[in-house]
Amino acid sequence: MIRRLSTAAVALAAVATLSACAAVPDRNAVAAVGDATLTQDDLDEILASDLAGQLLQLPPGADRYPMSAARDIIGTWITVTGAATLDLPEASDDAVIEQFGEGWSTAPEPLQELLRGITSISLSPDLDQAALIDSLADATVASRFGRWTPEQFTVVPLGQ
Per-residue pLDDT of the chain (160 residues; tens, 9 = 90+): 444 433 333 333 333 333 333 223 577 899 999 999 999 999 999 998 888 888 888 877 666 788 999 999 999 999 999 999 998 989 999 999 999 988 888 899 999 999 999 999 999 988 898 999 899 989 999 999 999 998 888 999 987 7
Q: In terms of pTM, does the model score above 0.85?
A: no
Run of H or E residues at 10: helix 2-23
The Cα 142–Cα 124 span in angstroms is 29
CA–chain centroid gap for 140, Å, is: 8
The Cα 81–Cα 136 span in angstroms is 8
> Is beta strand 36-39 parallel, antiparallel or unpaired with respect to 29-33?
antiparallel
CA angle, 6 then 10 then 11, to 5°: 115
